[in-house]
Amino acid sequence: MKQENCKRCRGGRFAVGRGPEENWGAALADPKKLFIKTYGCQMNVYDSERMAEAMGGSGYVTTDVAADADMILLNTCHIREKAAEKVYSELGRLKELKITKPDLKIGVAGCVAQAEGAEIMRRQPAVDLVVGPQSYHRLPAMEARVRAGENPLETDFPEEDKFDHLAERPKAGRGPTAFLTVQEGCDKFCAFCVVPYTRGAEVSRPADRILREARDLVERGVREITLLGQNVNAYHGHDAGLAGLIGELARIDGLARIRYTTSHPNDMDDALIAAHGSCDKLMPYLHLPVQSGSDKILRAMNRKHTAESYLRLIDRIRAARPDILLSGDFIVGFPGETEEDFEATMGLVRAVNYGQAYSFKYSSRPGTPAAERAQVDEAEKTDRLGRLQALLSKQQYAAQDAMVGREVDVLFEKPGRFRNQMVGKSGYLHAVHVTDSGAGAGDIRRVRILQSVKNSLAGEVLA
C-alpha cells in the first residue's frame, strides 16, 4: 500500500507498506492483487489496513505496484480542496492504465467518496465503485457486484457498525507501532470543516472491543499504539472516558507506549490531564489544535474556546507533565481574518512554544458555513502562511536542538537508509537514528542524543 506524502499525517512516517508475502486471506494459487493509495490522516491509514484485511477474504493480497494490481482503491481525503482535486488527477492517470488493462477495477473510498458520491462516477466513468468511510465492511460484496457488471455506490451511514462486520484481524506478525481507531466523527461543527459531514456524528467504540484489538496487536509484535479519533478525547466508550481507556490499555503486558490524536481543547478533562502526569506509558506528546489566536476568529470558527482558555489549559497540562511536547494545527486566512487577528495567532504561538505544528491556508469547502463568507485575498493568505511557518519551524528546530546531550528511550522501528542504521522514535515523537547499535525493530533502548539534523536526531545506544 502507498501513502501520499501528507504534512498533516506527518509526511507518511506512519505509512503502512505490506508486501504480498506478509498477506493473509484465502490461500489461492494465483491471488488477485489489491493496490491501495492512502491520502490524508492517520485514520485513513488505519482504514486502508482494515480494507486490505476485508478484501483478503475475497482472495486479494496487497501489492505496492499499481501496474500489477487487479483492483486499485484510492482512500481519499476531503479536508482541503487540494486534497480532493489530487484524487481526480490520480483517477485521470488510472483511466489510462485501464486502457492497457481492461480488467482492472478502480474504487474510490474515504471522505471524497462520502462527500461527492455518484458525482465521482459522473466525472470519471472509469471508476467502478464508490464506498464511504462507514461502509467499507461491504467492500467484498461490492467487489462481487463489480464483477457482475454493476457500479455499486455505498455512502449511507449504515445502521450496522462496520467494526462488527469486518473480518477478525489477522494473526500475522507486524511492525512495532500501530494505529487503533477508538472514536469516529465529530459533533463540533467548526465553521471551516467537512469532517462532521463526511465522517458523521461522534461515535465511540466499546472499550472491551478496543482492548481486545489492542491485545491482539501486542501479540503480533506491536509495542506502541496510537489511539485515533477525529475527536479522540471526546471518547465515551468507557465510563471514565479516554483516561479510563488509557488506564486499562496501560495494564496490557508488552504494550510499552500509548499515544492519542486528535484532540479538541474543550474535551481535555481533568482525568486526561492527570493521566499525562501519572501514566508512564502515555507518551509526552500532545497534538492539541487551536486553529487561531484571535478570539474574534475563534468565535467565527465556532470553536467555543478563547485564546486565553487555551493558554490556561496548556498551563495545566504542563503542570501535570512539564516536559510534554506540544503540537497544533493552524489555519490562516479564515474569512474575516485581519492582520491584527493574524498577529494574535503569532502571539499565541510565541506564548505556547510548539515542538511540532501543522499550518494551512484556509480552503473553502462546499457546504460548510464559512464557505459562504467573504474570502481573504489569496496572496495575503500565502504571505501569512509563510510568516507563521517560519516561526513554527524555528520553534520546532529549537525543540529538536534542545534534545542534544539528553538521554531518551527510543522505540526502534526499521533499518535506516545507511548501512547498520536503525531508526525509531523518542517519546516526544522525534525520529532518532543510530548506527552499529545491535538494536532491532521493536526494541526500546536508552539513547544519548548526539546531534540534531534536518528532520531527525542522531544518537548512540547506551544500554
Q: Note the residues at the interface with ligand 5AD (CB under 6 A).
A: 8, 79-80, 192-193, 289, 291, 329, 331, 360, 362-363, 365
Q: Which does 363 bind (CB under 5 to 8 A by kind): ligand 5AD, ligand SF4, none?
A: ligand 5AD
How far apart (Å, rounded) are the C-alpha atoms in residues 413 and 423? 6
Q: Which of ligand 5AD, ligand SF4, none does residue 186 bind (CB under 5 to 8 Å by kind)? A: ligand SF4
Give the distance, in angstroms, between the CA of residue 333 and the centroid of all CA atoms in the same chain: 24
Nearest approach, Cβ of residue 329 and ligand SF4 (Å): 8
Tell me which of ligand 5AD, ligand SF4, none is bound by residue 354, counting a contact when its beta carbon lies within the kind-specific cut-off of 5 to 8 angstroms.
none
The interface partner of residue 132, options being ligand 5AD, ligand SF4, none and the CB cut-off 5 to 8 Å by kind, is: none
Of residues 345 and 452, the one with the C-beta less far from ligand 5AD: 345
Closer residue to ligand 5AD in complex, CB, 81/339: 81
Comparison of 41 and 106: residue with beta carbon closer to ligand SF4: 41
DSSP H or E segment with residue 130: strand 129-131
Binding site for ligand SF4 (CB under 6 A): 186, 188-190, 193, 195-196, 230-231, 264
Q: Which is nearer to ligand SF4, 194 or 423 (CB)?
A: 194
Closer to ligand SF4 at the Cβ: 79 or 178?
79
Q: How far is the CB of 386 from ligand 5AD (least distance, A)?
A: 16
C-alpha cell at 307: 485564546
| Residue 264 contacts which entry, ligand 5AD, ligand SF4, none (Cβ below 5-8 A, type-dependent) | ligand SF4
Q: How far apart are the first and last CA of the chain?
A: 35
* CB of residue 120 to ligand SF4, shortest distance in Å: 22
Q: Which does 230 bind (CB under 5 to 8 A by kind): ligand 5AD, ligand SF4, none?
A: ligand SF4
Tell me the residue type at 226.
T
C-alpha cell at 22: 506478509
Question: Please, which residue, 45 or 54, has the CB nearer to ligand 5AD?
Answer: 45
Grid coordinates representing 388?
Answer: 507563521
- Locate the DSSP E strands across 188-283: 203-204, 224-228, 257-261
Pseudo-torsion of CA 388, 393, 394, 399, nearest 10°? 130
Which C-beta is closer to ligand SF4: that of 35 or that of 260?
A: 260
> What is the distance between the alpha carbons of residues 197 and 367, in angstroms, rounded to a whole number?
9
Rg (CA), the chain: 22
Determine the Cα–Cα distance for residues 41 and 195; give it in Å rounded to an integer.
12
We find the least distance from the C-beta atom of residue 212 to ligand 5AD, in angstroms, to be: 29
HEC assignment per residue over 265-325: HHHCCHHHHHHHHHCCCECCEEECCCECCCHHHHHHCCCCCCHHHHHHHHHHHHHHCCCCE
> Are 71 and 143 a contacting pair, CB within 8 Å?
yes
Report in angstroms how near the CB of residue 76 gets to ligand SF4 at its nearest. 16
Nearer to ligand 5AD, 63 or 363 (CB): 363
Tell me which of ligand SF4, ligand 5AD, none is bound by residue 231, counting a contact when its beta carbon lies within the kind-specific cut-off of 5 to 8 angstroms.
ligand SF4
Report, in Å, the least distance between residue 184 CB and ligand SF4: 10
Q: Residue 291 CB, nearest distance to ligand 5AD (Å)?
A: 6
Minimum gap (Å) between residue 284 Cβ and ligand SF4: 23
Task: Return the C-alpha cell found at 284.
Answer: 509526552
For residue 420, give Cα distances in angstroms to 287, 423, 435.
Answer: 32, 10, 5
